[in-house]
Structure 1
Amino acid sequence: MPELPEVETVRRHLAERVEGDVIREVEVRLPRIVRHPAPVLFADRLRGQRIQRVDRRGKYLLFRLDTVLLVSHLRMEGRYEVAHPSEPELPHTHVVFQLASGRQLRYADVRQFGTMDAVVEGEPLPNGLAELGPEPFDPALDGAALHERLRHRRAPIKSLLLDQRQMAGLGNIYVDEALFAAGIHPLTPAGAVSRRQCDVLLREIRDVLARAIREGGSSVRSFRDGYGRHGGFQIQLAVYGRAGQPCVRCGQPIQKIKVAGRGTHVCPACQPVVSGMPVGTGVHA
């Protein structure tokens, strides 16, 4: 699933290409992609709307139109492209926006898990978006605020960081990378993470996300940006996807374990266990 750096990369490329353009028509080929309102009304709401700005909140893309907020979640493999109608479409193109410039904004999704909502004033935000926690780069979020969110929680720190209600935009890749950089084992009870460790952890979260954004995200599976290019950060990953390989710091083999059902990568030497950590985690190389 695209995480914050990948969605931010897509946002930047879409902003370059479609901001200021006007949606003339909308063709919804796979109705279940559209959650709200019904596909026909969805198309009616967007027709004639100018794309004022393309924003991001967590893993959501927000197309701010004249009077409508178009909320798009890419889920597993959703992908946008801007193309001329004469250019071949990507396979599994499910929604096509005809633009006044003569181009098309196309949404393709092999897995068909992506969603779109067209929200007008007075309507609630889609479930998920409304419950998001602070952005990692929010100036109001500091180590003390993060510690306050964690200090009464017994769940593993990784589970809490994956919870979009605690911090928006993080996923499996960048949580593993940030916890490694901070020297915190993913199974550490969240409440056992000290105030000082929260300072370090937040700093490392911001650092890994900033570096990933600069590289256009990570293409560990199928991610491509708005121009069809792969991300480049995957070659800098320190632990994610490196099970059995030597740690870049100490040389110990990276282990892969399960945390809340998610494959998780950890260096047993650089990320030591702490008391109170859950057992039976299914460690394997």
Structure 2
Amino acid sequence: MNTMPEKPEVMTVVKNLIPRIVGKRITDCAIYWDNIIASPTPKEFKKKIIGQKINSITTRGKFIVIELDDYSLLIHLRMEGKFFFRNKGDEITKHEHVEFILDDEISFRYHDVRKFGKMYLIPKEDTYKVKPLSELGKEFYDDITEDYLFDKIHKLKLPIKTILLNQNIICGIGNIYDDEILFKSGISPMRRGCDISRNECLTIINNAKIILSEAVKLGGTTIKSFTSSEGVHGLFQAKLNVHGKKNALCPTCNSQIIVTHINGRGTYYCPKCQK
């Protein structure tokens, strides 16, 4: 599976970063691939971030939010972004695109084979007021009611599979957990949003909370492109019921799991259990 890290994986990354970088000050910064820096310009990014202390780290949707003295550093890992720690002066390898030197002489590096990841440096007071974070919907652990989800989807003719990937509704759900949530809810991924009842909305919300909470506890799902930091692997892949189970049998009814594409996204489901 070559899939973007989702909320549990991003939370696992943060959990591993906290003891390594919180409380450290950034004494230098080097950018080896300018396109990783979404905002401001690479020159301004480097000028503003040097001297800033790392005070805390959290997540918002699939974004890592690193709170500095005057700014928030937002990082989206996209498909293959990950972090490595090296000694200052160690050779920069081919896929290391941004390097932060910390005040303990450690080189904190952003590694991304496909170069899809993005970094934003935003004034701290604007962190949640401007894009990209201002557009995000609720987190799975927020107080989400069936009315909230129903109001968001009941006029939409898109498949529920596609709707749940919309980060403006419930952020942090990606392709893996989308499949798993719909399987546990007994809902076909092809069903249109406008055909989902209020009770089914509540079922989706409850199962999203259960599945994502369990995935966080287990460190996420280890997929082809994801390790949290220095090869730390998640364990939730052992709990997957349908995603990635091509030619396997449904654990509930023994029917063959179907693999299809919905709006370009690989989708796994049971045709008998999911209606």
TM-score range, shorter chain: over 0.9
- In the alignment, what sits opposite 1:231? 234
- In the alignment, what sits opposite 2:266? 263
1:91, distance to aligned residue in structure 2 (A): 4.5
The letter for the 1-side match of 2:162 is S
- Find the partner of 2:139 among 113, 135, 146: 135
The letter for the 2-side match of 1:53 is S
TM-score by length of 2: 0.94
- Find the partner of 1:24 among 8, 27, 30: 27
Q: Secondary structure at the match of 2:164?
A: helix
Q: Deviations over 1:46-82 (max 9, x none)?
A: 1111111111000001111000111111011000123
Pairing 1:183–2:214 present: no
Q: Secondary structure at the match of 1:130?
A: helix
Q: For 1:127 and 1:256, how far apart are their aligned partners in 2?
A: 35
Cα–Cα, structure 1 residues 142 and 83, in superposed 2: closer, same or farther, change >3 Å?
farther
The letter for the 2-side match of 1:228 is G
Percentage identity across aligned positions? Answer: 36
Q: Deviations over 1:15-68 (max 9, x none)?
A: 121111101000111111111111121111111111111110000011110001
1:5, distance to aligned residue in structure 2 (A): 0.7
Match runs of 1:48-197 below 5 Å: 48-85=51-88, 91-120=94-123, 127-139=131-143, 141-197=144-200
- Find the partner of 1:205 among 203, 208, 218: 208
| Runs of 5+ consecutive residues of structure 2 not aligned to the other structure | none
1:121, distance to aligned residue in structure 2 (A): 5.2
Q: Superposition RMSD on alpha carbons, in Å? A: 1.7
| Runs of 5+ consecutive residues of structure 1 not aligned to the other structure | 273-285
1:152, distance to aligned residue in structure 2 (A): 1.7
Q: For 1:203 and 1:84, how far apart are their aligned partners in 2?
A: 45
Q: Secondary structure at the match of 1:26?
A: strand
Q: Secondary structure at the match of 2:27?
A: strand
CA contact (8 A) 2:67 2:124 kept: no
- In the alignment, what sits opposite 1:278? none
CA contact (8 A) 1:13 1:227 kept: no
Cα–Cα, structure 1 residues 180 and 88, in superposed 2: closer, same or farther, change >3 Å?
farther
TM-score by length of 1: 0.90
Q: Secondary structure at the match of 1:104?
A: strand
Query: How many correspondences in the alignment?
Result: 271
CA contact (8 A) 1:62 1:71 kept: yes
Q: For 1:90 and 1:250, how far apart are their aligned partners in 2?
A: 49
Match runs of 1:216-227 below 5 Å: 216-227=219-230
